[in-house]
Structure 1
Amino acid sequence: MMNVLMYGWQYPPKLGSTANFQKIAKDLSQTKITYVSTTPAKTVDSICIPATTPEEFAHQASQVIDVNQFDILHAHDYPTYLAALIAHEQTQKPLIIHANETTFDRHEGLRNEEEFALEKKAFEHAHKIIAGNNKVRDRLVASYKIDESKIVSADNILETYKHAKNSYILSGKNKETPCDVKDDAVKEEEFSSSSENILVNNHEKTLAWLRVGLVDFLVGVGIGFLIALFLLSI
């Protein structure tokens, strides 16, 4: 069972047309959902973020959630895109964007530049985009220049999750950075350095012992020579 971190501004999230709801509910029942929202969710595991702006929501979510434990990141609509993008960029976990509307819908055909920039970045970084309706699908292609192959309908969420997870695994991004190799290299360097120090110290000790032995030998020879001269002079 896949472990999905789902971002939604309210609960329940918008899931597309009513006709798709039963299929969507069945798909989601085959996954473990943790729902992040500004309102508490009673029917699923949830994390309530008491935020009033997308920026505040993203900041608080990044502080309290360990994203690494999840397989999929799924964001519903504009207010949650920033939080999901931050989590995606930190972990490279596959990102699913659910778009039921765009800035053009919220502003009567016009676009808010700040909203447009964030939406475009989210759409470009997403593994797949679930379009709530054909109008949104057409807008994604025409205004955001998104490849149609990246856009899916809301009635196959489970397959979208599976595809995203498999692609993530095949890409190798699920493999952790080989810290052990790095640590071993550091340890090897430290070991070599320590070994060299030990060899140098032992060499110095050997030379010291040789010097002491030589001095003792010469002193002994000198004393013996003096004694011999003394005896010969008697």
Structure 2
Amino acid sequence: MSASLPSHNIKKGLSLPLSSADPESQRTSHRRGRCLDYCLVISLVVLTMAVGSLCALYFVWEKPSLGYQIREIKDPQKSSAHLVAKNVLLQNTTMEWNPKGVGDMLVGTGFKDAPEELKVTRSGLYYIYSQMKLRCVDIDECKKTGSVSVTVLKNGNKDEPLLELNVQISESSKNVIPTSFSGRLKYLSSGDRLSSHLWTDQEHEDWHLDAKENNFLGLFWVSDISGMGLSH
């Protein structure tokens, strides 16, 4: 005959301890995490909009002057010139340029070219650039040392050259090709003439100017000087 269990024992047996992973607590934590995610996303959006607004404000503020400066550069046939050397011998002379339309030669309609000079027909601020590059004619020779330079002149004025390019040559130069490049912004008036003078301290039959397209003089129009707030 089985004994019946007391009613209070049955109630205790059915009583279960609460789990540490409370479902309500998990839902509350999840909601908080989602709120933090929303706040982070909203903050990033607000920051992006603020940066965009500042960029737009800067563009609107600068737009008139920027548009003024670049309006003519869109027509390189008119606003730029690029001349390549005609001769390769190293000697003290005014450099000559290939006839118009030969090889890499380019002379815009805003310039007039001659064998030894380029004439500007429009006043303004120009970027002027030039490169000199040499090569060893006979790899077994080229043992002399010396200096070679090119000066870009305005109206033949040697006292104030626009650009100066200089290289030193030696036997070790056979492995490291002597090259010099220079460029700068300069105001030019209508009628100014540009020329390049080649100079060397001695005759170098073993050294020549490199391929003609690697020795050049060029410039392009940037702005009217009044649009840049600069002086001569």
TM-score (norm 1): 0.23
Higher helix share: 1
TM-score (norm 2): 0.23
Higher strand share: 2
Give the structure, 1 or 2, with the largest relative contact order (CA under 8 Å, sep 6 or more). 2
